Structure 1
Amino acid sequence: MSNLSYIAQNHGPWSTYLEQIERVTPYLEHLKGYIDTLKRPKRALIVDVPIVMDDGTIQHFEGYRVQHNLSRGPGKGGIRYHPDVDLNEVMALSAWMTIKTAVLNLPFGGAKGGVRVDPRKLSPRELERITRRYTSEISHIIGPQKDIPAPDVGTNPNVMGWIMDTYSSGQGHTVTGVVTGKPIHLGGSLGRIKATGRGVFVTGREVAEKIKLPLKGAKIAVQGFGNVGSEAAYLFAESQSLIVAIQDHTGTIFNPEGIDLAELKIYFETNQGVAGFEGAEMISDEDFWNVEIDILIPAALEGQITIERAQKLTAKLVLEGANGPTYPEADDILIQRGVTVVPDVICNAGGVTVSYFEWVQDMSSYFWSEEEINQRLDKLMVQAINDVWHTSNEKICSLRTAAFILGCERILKARMERGIFPG
């Protein structure tokens, strides 16, 4: 059996997270006694989501909402609609949200949700029905002071609007703060859609400068061309980097001279994918990992950088736009090869940061300009990556371990100071 097959069969996202916790434990000193707090979710809900399809048949879908840790505040985390959603994945994603919000020092805990469904196979009416029924099933554990969902893979502002409306109907009044990532006219925040990709760029820019990697002329490969990957690509292109390879669910395109993103944007909007774009050649999905590049941005799903791929990756810098894209064993290989990895819990935290801004604006009914949003986001992201960099140098460890040290210390200190009830 190959290493790739072994990992695929034996390493789910939750196992990856637990291994990350094991690796950070030796650095936590007097807080080690509380480490089991991070090894199990506080609350996990599995719900049946039955809906009437457009053809009159009844179908059942399985939904989840996991609250991993609420020691530092209400849960925060997206809702994913994808055919591969399962409890293992949602638990891991909720746990990474716990670490992420702590690394950014946001007053939230970690949560995540999802429904096992392919939203591309649903009509708009079916999508609305499944969203409203799922919301009704989890409504008793969410709320602006309990747990605040947001968009993720397969969901968007419209879905968040339906969640807000369904929840509000049960409360008897409009509750804008129950979700973030809503349409602007329903209490959404300017800058939210582009925030995660912007955070990838800001952290990447800061670390590239620290490792003396010039962005001008740097060759970049991007996996995933949704909100995260596309926005990061545009911002790097504005810094005169060359986006030479892009992979999405339709295939992989490559142009060693750089892909024209303005032309690709027009093509992508029409064709809903990058495959067939005339400004680049099609290559195999596996060849994406062999392209000569300086920076890799995995911005799709978890579990993409395997041992085999890590061994041949040419990038000097990896910016994790996705959650959990790198297996721990692959992480070790990248470290041994001198590749700098900016981990997901800080790299893609721009989205949850602006979600925090949206929540604050909803609670005060006072809204900021997009310029103000971006300035506040950039300031927090720069401060956070500098804190992680400093911890990495101080503890002589990877940026991932450093981020987990910061996050775990903040979470476990909160747990310790709150105490255990009953004593």
Structure 2
Amino acid sequence: MRLKDCHNFQDFRRLSQRRLPGPIFNYIDGGADDETTYRHNTRAFDQCDLLPSVLTGVSDVDMSVTVMGQKLAMPFYCSPTALQRLFHHEGERAVAAAAEKYGTMFGVSSLGTVSLEELRKKHKTPQVYQFYFHKDRGLNSAMMQRAKEAGVDVMMLTVDSITGGNRERDLRTGFSIPFRLTLAGMIQFAIKPMWGINYVTHERFRLPQLEEHVDMSGGASSIGGYFSEMLDPSMNWDDVAAMVRDWDGQFCLKGIMTVEDARRAAEIGCTGIVLSNHGGRQLDGSRAPFDQLAEIVDAVGDRIDVMMDSGIQRGTHVLKALSLGAKAVGVGRHYLYPLAAAGQAGVERALHLMRAEIERDMKLMGVTRIDQLNRDNLRFRNESREQQPIGRPAA
């Protein structure tokens, strides 16, 4: 199987599985506990049907959106994810270059493997910084100031990761930071030698966002200490409100799942929220973001930009989320599998295919602009609203 043979999410997944050692593939691929939420994130879209209109004249399609003050050529963006150079030696460089080529936003994690400054200098496309909250408030301020000086467009605070999810695939293979590989895990690395060759023949693995603040002399083991010793599980709304004031710009919270939390985010001055359960990697049994989207848009959509991620695999998934009122949709595994499989060429192919799906599906829906999508386009098939439209509640 080659890159040109990949036509959808599952194709990229299979190709990455062939090329990555098992422990690293399962780190990307796995979810928490029984992975119930991981599976449901995508299945949630299956309970929603699209209603196309015909004879509307759709020769020209504009799929651009404006979200968090950023103009995107496509209604989806590359969500920030950690440790990308573990998956392919190009890492964030490949994702940033592909995002710029296709005119969309990309994110850099606090645990990113390429510096904010390098990516900002090379690429003009909108850049998000995904931030973790530390016990040391001075450290939070210093890292935010660095991001501001680098020219980051959007601060994205992750709020659903005050402790790590129970990812049992990683426990079985011994994939951890630092590595504690089981025999089965070591065998997986041995039978995929090209990954190891690429890893040792390119620049050393590093976490440039943390090097000034964390003693990295212990190598990978330092990352484990970072999570156990430096992140603050006592983070609360007052802490976040102070960060919003200090940043004084586009600020969103990633991991919101309730109307009450969405309202609080709007009240403290956030300009956006991302409905997310971390791709099913944190609290197993939690609700899918798509299932929460309509009620949260109804509650705060006129005050704050509502986005969502988790489970997106198709252009129709994007259109369903936009029809419910999302301003844009984030993808993670959707670009990580092709990154692992083929670097920048893989990410570009994944973005190209998703863009083509969205354009084709918009034409089949009978719309030429994203703002023409609405809830009249949808019907749900679950028990409580069998074949019923999901319009806004009466005032």
> By percentage of residues, which structure has more strand?
1
Scaled by the length of structure 1, the TM-score of the pair is 0.34
Scaled by the length of structure 2, the TM-score of the pair is 0.36
Greater relative contact order (CA < 8 Å, ≥ 6 in sequence): 2
